[in-house]
Amino acid sequence: MASPLANTPPPALLVAGPTLVAARKAWLDALSAERGLSDNTAEAYERDTRQFLTFLAHHWGDPPELSDLDGMAPQDLRAFLAQRKRDGAGPRSLARALAGVRAMLNHFERRHGINAAAVRVVNAPAKPRGLPRPVPMDAAQTMLAPGTTWTELRDTAVLSLLYGAGLRVGEAVGLDCADMAPPIEILRIKGKGGRERVVPILPAVAEACEAYRATAAYTLLDGPFFRGEKGGRLSARIVQRVVERWRAALGLPDTATPHALRHAFASHILAHGGDLRAIQELLGHARLSTTQLYTAVDERRLLEAWREAHPRAVRN
């Protein structure tokens, strides 16, 4: 049987009854006028909802009217997503299509009183999780070279906490002076979901923090530990800019971000025999499956090394 979506009409045509055509046009016009959607988003909503209504016409045997959408069954939505998947749509495309259909049906519920409960019980397929992309070890070490000014020493201290302790950038700039009372040997970090973890601090990381403390333009007795030039709490955006400058200087890809230093912390420990459960605790991951992504990174690195070094490896 031919795919219902294979013969999707051009944008000017729509396989639907007049009441539904009019209601959908009013919704699309309101999106552009009231919400100021970008052209790409508006086109995606138009295309995805057109494909959905075209599918329903084939699925039900007749062009649907607005009243036909009242109390539509969840299996109709699932059948549409299954058809899109058979036609080659990936998880991101399916999620976008469902979002467009959901927005339209929710609007019809508010404006025309139809029951759109089906869109609230159907979930998009999970998007595949990409592998972490850590900063290479030599680049991470270069980024930690201490500067001379107090702001340069501050930046080194922050990056040391990302790479040397696995902190998120928000966790690092969120530290207060009370958290960093000397001697700095462990930190108690409250991370995502309010989960608290204990992070041991390497001597080199503690030294970087003390070098910053000794030269800071502000007395660090209370309040934020990492300060901006005007004395307020250091912004995560400033840290991002520091890494952007290093990225340009070292010729690193766009994936070299502050968070990639945290990835480097985990992947480099794992590469040197670190225990996966211990890394999970250090990073504050709720699920081991999240931490296990770093094993795939390590396996990929081993495969790349084999391809480069082994005499039998096939070279492009």
The rounded distance, in Å, linking the Cα atoms of 43 and 292 is: 38
Name the catalytic one among 168, 213, 227, 263. Answer: 168
Which amino acid belongs to residue 143? M
Distance CA 113, CA 27 (A): 14
Query: Which range among 28-37, 92-101, 202-211, 286-295 shows the weakest confidence by mean pLDDT?
Result: 286-295
Closest CA relative to residue 97, chosen from 83, 116, 107:
83
Please give the Cα distance from 250 to 260 (Å, whole number): 15
* Contact by Cβ (8 Å): 154, 227: yes
Check residue 302 and give its pLDDT. Answer: 44
The CATH superfamily assigned to 137-309 is Intergrase catalytic core (1.10.443.10)
Q: How many residues does the chain have?
A: 316
To the query of whether residue 285 is one of the catalytic residues in this protein, the response is yes
> Which one from 24, 259, 263, 268 is the annotated catalytic residue?
259
Q: Is it true that 18-120 and 137-309 share their CATH fold?
A: no
Active site residue 310: no
pTM over 0.75: no
Cα torsion through 155, 156, 160, 166, rounded to 10: 20
288-313 confidence digits (pLDDT tens): 555 555 555 444 444 444 445 445 54
CA atoms of 50 and 33, how far apart (whole Å)? 20
Q: How many CA atoms lie within 13 A of 198 on its CB side?
A: 3
Judge whether 122 and 98 are in contact, CB under 8 Å.
Answer: yes
Cα–Cα separations (whole angstroms), residue 208 to 144, 159, 204, 229? 9, 9, 6, 18
Give the residue extent of every domain in the chain: 18-120, 137-309
pLDDT (tens digit per residue) in 226-275: 999 999 999 999 999 999 999 999 998 888 888 888 888 777 676 656 66
pLDDT tops 60 at residue 4: no
Buried b (16+ CB within 10 A) or exposed e, 107-139: bbbeebebebebbeebebeeeeeeebbbbeeeb
For residue 36, what are the contacts with CB-CB under 8 A and spacing of at least 6?
Answer: none
- C-alpha 53/C-alpha 45 separation (Å) is 12
Q: Which one from 58, 154, 262, 263 is the annotated catalytic residue?
A: 262
pLDDT of residue 314: 52
Q: Exactly one of 111, 192, 195, 277 is catalytic; name it.
A: 192
Q: What is the mean pLDDT of the chain?
A: 82
CB 243 within 8 A of CB 143: yes
Residue 214 has pLDDT above 60, yes or no: yes
Q: What is the pLDDT of residues 12-61, one digit of tens each?
A: 467 889 999 999 999 998 887 766 566 677 888 999 999 999 999 999 99
Residue 230: active-site member: no
- 233 carries an active-site annotation: no
Does the structure show a pLDDT above 90 at 151? yes
CA dihedral 162, 167, 170, 175 (to 10 degrees): -100
Backbone φ and ψ for 92, nearest 5 degrees, come out as: -65, -40
Its sign, for the CA torsion 36, 38, 43, 46, is negative
CATH level 3 topology of 18-120: DNA polymerase; domain 1 (1.10.150)
pLDDT at res. 7: 44
Tokens found for residue 159:
């990056």
Q: Is 120 one of the catalytic residues?
A: no
pLDDT-based confidence at residue 1 (cuts at 50, 70, 90)? very low
